[in-house]
Chain A
Amino acid sequence: MDEMESNSSIISEVAMTADSESFLNRWNRSILENELWPFPVSFSCCSSEMRRFKGRENSSEYINGLDVAYPPEESDLLIVGGTISQKMAPFIKEVYDRMPEEKWVLAIGACASSGGPYWTHSVVQGLSQIVPVDVYLPGCPPSREMIIQSFEAIRERVTKKVSSLSQTRWSLNV
C-alpha cells in the first residue's frame, strides 16, 4: 500500500547505516525483533479497545505479554492510550526514566497524540510534550486492526535501529 511504502521510505532516510556489530548486539536485536515486552498504560475510552484486543485468542501473535505485569526496569515498549491529564504526567515521565536504554514509545488515539477535542489547560496537548514518541496512531477510538498494524510499524523501527530517543540525543549533541 502507498502508506506503508512512504512510511518505510521515511525512516530509511533517518536510519543509520549498519556498521560491523558485535555478536551480542546482533543477538539482542534478533530477540527484540521477535519479542518486545510492553508496559501498557491506558485510561478513558481507548482502554476498552485495548481490553478487547487483549481478549482475542490470537493477540499473542502480534505482541506478547500484555496480560503479565512487567516492572518498568524490564520492559522495552511504552504504550499510552487515552487522555493525559496534568496530574498523570509525572507518573509517565517516571516510568519512562526507569526503563532501560533501548526503548520505544507508542501513542494510541487522538487524545494521546495531540490532546484531541480537549483544549483546556488541564490536559497535556500530546505525549510529545513529555517524552519523545516513535509511532502515532490517530483515531477516536482506533479499531483493532489499526492497533495490530501499529505493532508492525514498531517492529520495523526496531529492525532498522531507529528510535526517537537516539534522534533527540543526536540533535542535541549529547
Chain B
Amino acid sequence: MILGKNLYNKSSKILNLFRVLNLIAPKIWKKSFSRFKTKSNGFTGGAPALTLTESGDLRCTSCMLCQNICPSFCIKIETHEHAEEEAAPLNFDINILKCTFCGLCEDACPVDAIRMEGPMPFAGHSEQNWIWDKEYLSSYAGDLKSKVGEDRPLMP
C-alpha cells in the first residue's frame, strides 16, 4: 500500500503553535505506566553456583562437559591424580569477568552440579580477586541442594 498523500502536506502555522504549546505544557492527566517497569534487578539469580549433596559434599564429578561448552572458556577444572577414588575436582575456577551468564553450563551438566541461581556480582575494585574458586562457588549462594536422588551412583 502506498502511504497516503495527506501525510506529506505541511500544516498551517497556527496548528504548529498549538502543537509546540502541547509539548511544553505539563501533562496533568499523565497515566502511570508503572506496571510495565522492570522490577528491581529483573531476576534474582543468574550467576553460576555449585550444588551440594545431602551430606554436604560437592555433586560435581569432573566430567568436563561444562568446560567444553563454555563459549568464553572461563571454566578451568583440575582433577585428582586417581580419579577412580575421588571424583570431585581438585580445583574448579571460574573467571567471572569473562562469564556472559548464558546458562549453557547448567544445560550441559548431567548431574545437576552447577546452577545459575547465585546473586549477580556487584562492581568491585580492581585489586580484588576475580577468579572464584570452588569454596566460594559452593557457599556464596546459600547452600544449594541438588535435585538428583541420593542413591544415584557416581560416574566413572
Contact = CB atoms under 8 A, between A and B. Distances in A.
Interface of A: 1, 3-4, 6-7, 10-11, 14, 110, 113-117, 119, 126, 128, 133-140, 142-143, 145-146, 149-150, 153, 157, 164
A7 B120 contact: no
B122 A134 contact: no
B149 interface: no
A6 B127 CA distance: 11
A146 B95 CA distance: 19
Nearest to A112: B97
Contacts of B130: 136, 138
A119 B125 contact: no
Contacts of A134: 125-126
Contact of B41 (A113, A114, A143): A143
B124 interface: yes
Interface string B92-133: 000111111110000000000000000011111111101000
12 contacts: A6-B128, A110-B100, A114-B95, A114-B97, A116-B98, A119-B73, A134-B125, A138-B121, A140-B100, A142-B120, A149-B123, A153-B122
B124 A136 contact: yes
Given A110-B97, A110-B98, A110-B100, A157 B125 contact: yes
Nearest to A148: B123
B123 A140 contact: no
Contacts, number: 82
A10 B125 CA distance: 8
Given A110-B99, A116-B98, A136-B97, A11 B72 contact: no
A11 B128 CA distance: 9
A158 to B, nearest CB: 12
Given A10-B128, A135-B125, 16 more contacts: A3-B121, A110-B72, A110-B98, A113-B98, A115-B98, A116-B98, A117-B72, A117-B100, A134-B125, A136-B97, A138-B97, A138-B130, A139-B121, A143-B42, A146-B120, A153-B122
B71 interface: yes
A149 B41 CA distance: 12
B40 interface: yes
B104 to A, nearest CB: 11
A8 to B, nearest CB: 9
A112 to B, nearest CB: 10
